[in-house]
Amino acid sequence: NKQIIFPDYVRGFPKESNFKLTTTTIDLQLPEGSTSVLVKNLYLSCDPYMRICMGKPEPLSSSLVPPYETGVPIVGLGVSKVIDSGHPDYKKGDLLWGLVGWEEYSVITLTLYSHFKIHHTDVPLSYYTGLLGMPGMTAYAGFYEVCSPKKGETVFVSAASGAVGQLVGQFAKLMGCYVVGSAGSKEKKKFGFNDAFNYKEEKDLSAALKRCFPEGIDIYFENVGGKMLDAVLINMKLHGRVAVCGMISQYNLEDPEGVHNLPTILYKRIQIQGFGVCDFYDKYPKFLDFVLPHIREGRITYVEDIAEGFESGPSCLLGLFEGKNVGNQLFVVARE
Ligand code: NDP
């Protein structure tokens, strides 16, 4: 059983040496009386929140994402196939997505919303690490529940080409909003939004936003934080809403950057709300009912960045912080 171990907590930008590949043996049968499930991992997902788990445990972030345990496999989200089951809801051959170790086989204990059985296999199985998994639920809950959008509103999304961002943009378009995205390369700008800009090429982010939103922004779906948030605040409309989904530009910094334009929140009476997808998993069945017809009828598409091979996990995860991924980043451990 190949495993990728998390040796110790990370400061600053993570490196390949923060991961250790090992091989152990595993019994491919559960002991008598076990209520766990033994799975073979097929697709494993790389998600920015994992960097928060790799940092020294601290009470502020731990209330949203628990820190990793050292000396054991990295834990992430994945799509897996049941090999043996002591749980009444699962039998051999069933597919599920949820939290697993970065290893070829895992023994998992099922808790509320830790794992979801996969019932629809007419769509790519890898989608359950993205569009039909945690990032999809994040975009859905963040946009519809937190942003409370209305037709005709102006929406700005950062990290617009990523696992979450590309969906927020498509949901906003379905709603009849005017949507602009920012991303870090020319290639990533082509995501079918009304407009987009490459934030790395803009000398003045505020001027770029002013150019895209001459009348201001109603809704900002925040994925990056830092300088972008500062620039957005002064371009918000009166009574605008900001859904704080993530702040990836800050995860590797020991001292998060300051935001200078905070008084604008008062002057423009802006509503800012952070949210965690974990608080919305009870809506997962409703999300599937909503999104599956859109996928099947071609109204929603999804870009994935799929790496081959278990060993590619660490470099794929590190790549998120350099913008190397185009779309949802995952890697293939086994195809069946
Ligand atoms: P993405 O697929 O968007 O990958 C991350 C992207 O972030 C990179 O491709 C890169 O794109 C961009 N990025 C990296 N570093 C920086 C930087 N310093 N400044 C600006 N952009 C940067 O990831 P996800 O869609 O999975 O996640 C997007 C955000 O949503 C993250 O902040 C994540 O933590 C958050 N999130 C929050 C959840 C919640 O429950 N609140 C759940 C899931 C995700 P580019 O080339 O454009 O720079």
Asked whether residue 292 is domain-assigned, the answer is no
Beta strands (DSSP E) in 61-113 are: 72-73, 75-85, 95-101, 105-108
Considering the domain architecture, whether residues 61 and 189 belong to the same structural domain is answered as: no
Q: How many CB atoms lie within 10 A of CB 157?
A: 33
Calculate mean pLDDT across residues 302-313: 97
Residue labelled with tokens 């990523």? 162
Residue labelled with tokens 């001292």? 255
Considering the domain architecture, whether residues 102 and 144 belong to the same structural domain is answered as: no
Considering the domain architecture, whether residues 166 and 253 belong to the same structural domain is answered as: yes
Query: In angstroms, rounded to a whole number, what is the distance separating the alpha carbons of residues 3 and 19?
Result: 10
**Contact status, residue 82 vs residue 91, Cβ threshold 8 Å:** yes
Report the nearest-CA residue for atom 21 of ligand 1. Answer: 224
Q: Which atom of ligand 1 is nearest to the CA of 200?
A: 48
Query: Quick check: 254 pLDDT over 80?
Result: yes
Decide: residue 59, CB within 10 A, 0-12 exposed, 13-18 middle, 19+ buried: exposed
Type of residue at 154: T
Asked whether residue 295 is domain-assigned, the answer is no
Asked whether residue 260 is domain-assigned, the answer is yes
Asked whether residue 104 is domain-assigned, the answer is yes
Calculate mean pLDDT across residues 169-196: 92
DSSP β-ladder status, 195-198 and 178-183: parallel
The binding-site residues of ligand 1, defined as CB within 6 angstroms of any ligand atom, are 47-49, 135, 138, 159, 162-165, 183-185, 188, 223-224, 245-249, 275-277, 320-321, 323, 325, 328
Q: What is the pLDDT of residues 239-249, one digit of tens each?
A: 999 999 999 99
Q: What is the pLDDT of residues 187-204, one digit of tens each?
A: 887 677 999 999 999 999
Considering the domain architecture, whether residues 120 and 149 belong to the same structural domain is answered as: no
Q: Which atom of ligand 1 is nearest to the CA of 185?
A: 46
Considering the domain architecture, whether residues 188 and 256 belong to the same structural domain is answered as: yes
Considering the domain architecture, whether residues 193 and 101 belong to the same structural domain is answered as: no
Query: In angstroms, rounded to a whole number, what is the distance separating the alpha carbons of residues 74 and 271?
Result: 36
* Domain end among 244, 263, 278: 278
Residue whose C-alpha is closest to residue 250's, from 273, 230, 227, 226 = 226
Q: How far is the CA of 162 from the centre of ligand 1 (A)?
A: 6
Residue labelled with tokens 């830092």? 226
The DSSP string of 101-153 is ESBSEEEE---TTTEEE----SS-GGGGGTTTSHHHHHHHIIIIIIS---TT-
Considering the domain architecture, whether residues 22 and 139 belong to the same structural domain is answered as: no
First to last CA, the chain: 16
pTM summary value: 0.98
Asked whether residue 283 is domain-assigned, the answer is no
Asked whether residue 159 is domain-assigned, the answer is yes
3-class DSSP assignment, residue 57: coil
Considering the domain architecture, whether residues 181 and 110 belong to the same structural domain is answered as: no
Considering the domain architecture, whether residues 10 and 76 belong to the same structural domain is answered as: yes
* DSSP conformation class of 204: -
Q: What is the pLDDT of residues 82-135, one digit of tens each?
A: 999 999 999 999 999 999 999 999 999 999 999 999 999 999 999 999 999 999
Calculate mean pLDDT across residues 167-186: 96
DSSP β-ladder status, 95-101 and 115-117: antiparallel
DSSP lists the bridge partners of residue 307 as 331
Query: In angstroms, rounded to a whole number, what is the distance separating the alpha carbons of residues 257 and 246?
Result: 14
Q: What is the ipTM of this complex?
A: 0.99
Which domain range does residue 65 map to? 2-130+302-332
Considering the domain architecture, whether residues 161 and 208 belong to the same structural domain is answered as: yes
Q: 248, 253, 320, 328: which to mutate for ligand 1, most atoms within 8 A of CB?
A: 248
CATH label of the domain that carries residue 326: 3.90.180.10
Report the nearest-CA residue for atom 45 of ligand 1. Answer: 184
Confidence of residue 210 (pLDDT cuts 50, 70, 90): very high
Query: In angstroms, rounded to a whole number, what is the distance separating the alpha carbons of residues 126 and 133?
Result: 9
CATH label of the domain that carries residue 147: 3.40.50.720
Q: How far is the CA of 32 from the centre of ligand 1 (A)?
A: 43
Instruction: Please report the pLDDT score of residue 192 as a whole number.
Output: 79
- Stretch (H or E) spanning 164: none
Asked whether residue 294 is domain-assigned, the answer is no
Query: In angstroms, rounded to a whole number, what is the distance separating the alpha carbons of residues 245 and 233?
Result: 16
Asked whether residue 325 is domain-assigned, the answer is yes
| Count of the separate structural domains present in the chain | 2
Q: How far is the CA of 223 from the centre of ligand 1 (A)?
A: 6
Q: Can you list the alpha helix ranges (DSSP code H) found in the chain? A: 49-54, 59-62, 134-140, 165-174, 205-212, 227-233, 263-267, 284-296, 313-319
**Contact status, residue 77 vs residue 134, Cβ threshold 8 Å:** yes
**Contact status, residue 137 vs residue 277, Cβ threshold 8 Å:** yes
Considering the domain architecture, whether residues 201 and 245 belong to the same structural domain is answered as: yes
Residue 196 phi/psi, 5-degree rounding, is -155, 155
Residue whose C-alpha is closest to residue 312's, from 67, 43, 28, 123 = 43
Report the nearest-CA residue for atom 43 of ligand 1. Answer: 135
Considering the domain architecture, whether residues 217 and 233 belong to the same structural domain is answered as: yes
